[in-house]
Each structure stands twice: as structure tokens, then as C-alpha cells.
Amino acid sequence: MRRALQACLLVSGAGAGVMEQGMRQHWTRATATVALGVDDATALVRALPGAPRVSRVTVLSGGLANTNLRLDFASGEPPLVLRLYQRDPAQAAKERALHGLAARHGLPVPRLHLGADDNPITGSAYAVIDWIEGRPLDDVAAKLDGDQLWQLGASIGAGLARIHGVTFDACGFFDGALRVATPIDVGGAGLREFLHRCLIDGRGGERLGGDLTRALMAFVDAEAAVLDTWDGAPCLTHADFGGSNILVRLTGRGWALAAVLDWEFAFSGSPFFDLGNLLRPPPGRLPGFADAVAAGYAGAGRVLPPRWREMAALADLIAWADFLSRELPPPGVIDSARERIRDTIARRG
């Protein structure tokens, strides 16, 4: 896989205590949040029907690079979210296309109202999407009892199955029209090649430490071939399926998936990238959660292979190697990567 994989896969420590508390809360933003007043926000969304006036702008938490703002309107229209792209503006066109794809397939994704590659206020690419009422998965899952957690996990599994039901002719990175422009290998050879590039040729191995790097490479050499047993069609892969990007809400039937946010890293891959991300701590450590996800996934018509958890853990190593090799990884990520890699090796077999 080429180096561009580093720009397309995002990961969500120093000990199990950190892992149980969640990983992302120990990370900090790499870029400053864009400040926008009500007048500028009103001007930016003037093309909305009725040209509504913004009465309040609220910065939303969760993102590590782009700025997401909730916009409330003076005349009482439902709130919307203004998304300003800071990390990689080139991904904005792809994300707009993905919103359209999601609408056609009935996926749990907010509706897109406006979007462009620049704007007259901040100059950045932007999108305006529905505000979805809900809470991040990590804030809810650990507080649920067994039946509630099962119901939530099954709902998330069913939603993920619908996402993975959108298939393509090849694995790879999309262009702005959702064509697979850069094919990649998501099997065992691709994993070994990418980890070697990040940890041996790149700076990642020094950050991980010599002993752990050698242990990881030996582990991957022994285990990566299981990824080649997957014979499914390349599927829509969110690539950041966890943390604040999964919104859940309480319904009349219990807790359920509300929406999946932030699609800028999406590509055509295998199911195991999203499953590996989803099963990171804390939800991945909760008893029965993984089984519930698999049950919901199967109930929606997509059965996972017997060794799917191992395959998910292996695929997730790509994201950790990516962060270890970056020039300026967000503070806290290196400790999270070390702990997650140790845990993956320890669970071998």
C-alpha cells in the first residue's frame, strides 16, 4: 500500500486504566478550532431555503482537526452543523459525494444541505449537514446493563452491515467522484508492507521501541495470512468508525444507532477496518458487546467469518502504525498505540 494510506486511516497507553477510560479523551487537537460569529455564519449559509439568520454558533467537540459548528436559527428552523475542512480540503468533494451515496442507499448518515470547495468567509472547503440528536457511543456504552448493551451493539452491527453492503469493484482510495483511483492490498502482504514502511523504514519503530517493534513484526509475519481468507467484495469502509463518530440515542425500543459522522477518510476496503476500530476500548472490552455487534451484522444479512475478531485486530494495526510514523502525531497517541499493540500481541491465539 502506498504512503497515502497514512492520510486516509485515522485511529482513535500507558496501562489498562487509560484504555478503560477511553483513548480519544487523552488526545489533543493538532489544529486550532475556527472561530465564527453569527453574522459570518449567516452569510456562509445564505443559500439555504429562506436564507435563515443564525442566532447562535456552538463549537462541537470530538474532532481532532476539522471544525464542526452547530448553527441555531432565529426563526426556529431545525439546527444544522457547519463543517469546515482544515486537515485535508481535498477530501471535501469526496465526503459530499459520500453523503449523496448514503442518501441513495438509506445509510445512517446526516443529510447534506450545502457544500463547496471554498467559501467567502474562511476560504476553506465546507459542508452543511443535519444536526442529529444523540450521544457518542463511548459516553453511553459503559453505563448500560447487559440487555441494553446487547441491543445497542446489535443496532450498531446492523447499521455497519448496511454500510458494508455498498460494494465496489476493487479495494482502494476514492477520488471526488467515488471512483477507486488508487488500488490497495488489504490482505496479509499489504499489512506487512505497510508496517515495514512505517516502523522499519520510517520513524514509527523508534517511537514504538525496538523490542515491541520486533515482537509486532514477528506477530504479523505469523498471523497476517488470515486476512487473505476473506473473499467478500470490496465494501464501503468508514475508516474512523468509533469514538465521537458513532452517535446513539434512546428510542422507544432501547438504545440504537442514530448516525455515523465524518466520512472524509472513507475508502473501499474490507469490513475489518471498521470492526477493529469499533472494538477498541472502552466498548470493545465490555462483556457481550462484540457478540452483539456480530449478531446485528448477521441479522442484517452479512455474516462474518469465524476468525473475524483476529482479522479486525490485524487490520487495526495499520492505523496505529500510521500514527506512530507521522511527523507530528497528536499528544497521547503514541502511548495509546503502544498499549493497543501490546494488547493485540498478548491476545494472540
Residues 124 and 169 occupy one common structural domain: no
Name the residue with cell 487509560: 18
Residues 338 and 256 occupy one common structural domain: yes
pLDDT of residue 6: 37
pLDDT of residue 89: 78
Residues 192 and 74 occupy one common structural domain: no
pLDDT of residue 339: 95
Domain-terminating residue out of 76, 105, 130: 130
Residues 163 and 284 occupy one common structural domain: yes
81 is a domain residue: yes
pLDDT of residue 295: 98
Residues 190 and 73 occupy one common structural domain: no
pLDDT of residue 28: 52
CATH code of 63's domain: 3.30.200.20
pLDDT of residue 17: 31
For the chain, residues with pLDDT lower than 50 are 1-27, 349
284 is a domain residue: yes
33 is a domain residue: no
Count of domains for the chain: 2
Domain-terminating residue out of 130, 150, 175: 130
pLDDT of residue 64: 61
CB atoms within 10 A of CB 179: 14
* Domain of residue 84, residue span: 38-130
Residues 329 and 203 occupy one common structural domain: yes
Is 169 within 8 Å of 180 (Cβ atoms)? yes
Q: Where are the beta strands (DSSP E) in 219-276?
A: 235-237, 246-251, 254-260, 267-269
Residues 312 and 229 occupy one common structural domain: yes
32 is a domain residue: no
Residues 149 and 261 occupy one common structural domain: yes
CATH code of 214's domain: 3.90.1200.10
Domain-terminating residue out of 100, 130, 160: 130
pLDDT of residue 2: 37
* DSSP string over 125-163: -EEEEE----EEHHHHGGGS-HHHHHHHHHHHHHHHHHH
